[in-house]
Amino acid sequence: MFQQDDLPKILRKEVIASLHDGIVRIHNRRIYPGRDEYMYVSSVQEIADAMQQMVTQGGGILRLSLVALLFIAEQMAEGKIPLSQQEFIRLLSLIKNARRTNTTSHRILDSLTSSLSLEGAFSNAELLLSLSRSKVEEVEATFDTIYDSMSDLGADLILDGEGIFTTCFAEHTFILSLLKAHRSGKDLHVYVPETRPYLQGARLTAPSLQELGIPVTLISDAMPAHLIQKGAVNRYMSAADTVCMDGSAANKVGTLTNAVLCSHYHLPFHLFAVSPDQSKLSMEDIEIEYRDPEELLTFRGERISAVGVHGIYPAFDTIPPSLITSIITPRGVLRPQDIRMKYVPGEGL
């Protein structure tokens, strides 16, 4: 099992988000690595706003969602929020609605709420807080085990001498796969597209790999085709924000372009999915988040196009199963058509 110290700093639990004395501390990924700072918030609405504003994103949303649940339970135990299951659900809905496409954290929060209700937690505030803490620890231990096993599978797929490219910031499963392959002696090189407009590839993925000593080169979002054509890149790997029962997926916008590219050049295209969404039959069921076009039209507060030019910013792509080589899951490396057989609705993780 990996240890927290094996991870790059920004993937460590206490760095992503933590709760101390009624204050939630969130590592601000919007400004990292230029500035290594935290945001401090003290209400559920402020936590939801931080999510919506991309202070954290990707897998960080799960950690912050769990911290938000603990925050609500603590506030109820201290009498600052009325003890009520209805109020608990209402406040968690603010967190769930902050980012709508990636549903893993939504389903975990729903499962935890149900479990707390069954154990009578909403009849006693101290019981609610105690059970919430133990259940969050269980969830995080489960996910650590999942990250560990999935990264074993991912590392096995990587061949010695390969160039790998990705999209955005794929976090634990992808980063640990690369780390394990690197530590096993495999020669590999990772090409990281910058990921406009938030530059997560440039600001999060590339510095994380550099921190771990993994060879990495930053490229623009338009360069993968050139590198594939020249033979520098051999494989694609990324996390998926959502995987449906037919094997289709959603991930950061740009992923579909990369999938088409890999298909044309006959490169393997792999996605990591810690928890396929059993409620979504196909990509038609995925709610794609459209963000404010101003995020595309400005950079660090300065407009990058003429006044009056309009923009559009779909935050995610949907990728059909025909373009996906395999999906790396806690239940194995699966072909897209195998997802439906391995994941039965109602079974959970």
Q: Are 146 and 274 in contact (CB under 8 A)?
A: yes
Pairing of strands 23-27, 235-239: unpaired
* Catalytic site includes residue 241: yes
Select which of 156, 241, 285, 317 is catalytic. 241
Instruction: Supply 18's token pair.
Output: 């933590």
Residue type, 228: I
Of 83, 58, 322, 338, the C-alpha closest to 198 is 58
Instruction: Please enumerate in sequence order all residues whose Cβ is within 8 A of that of 121, keeping only pairs 6 or more positions apart, or say none.
Output: 127, 128, 131, 132
Q: Which contiguous run of DSSP H or E holds residue 334?
A: strand 332-334
Whole-number Å distance between alpha carbons of 31 and 347 = 39
- C-beta neighbour count of 307 within 10 angstroms: 6
- C-beta neighbour count of 321 within 10 angstroms: 18
Residue type, 339: I
Measure Cα distances from 105 to 8, 63, 117, 314 in Å: 22, 8, 18, 21
In three-state secondary structure terms, 138 is: helix
Q: What is the DSSP string of 19-37?
A: EETTEEEEE-TTTTTTS--
Instruction: Please enumerate in sequence order all residues whose Cβ is within 8 A of that of 300, keeping only pairs 6 or more positions apart, or say none.
Output: none
Instruction: Supply 328's token pair.
Output: 């790396």
Alpha-carbon dihedral sign for residues 67, 69, 72, 77: negative
Residues classed as catalytic: 241
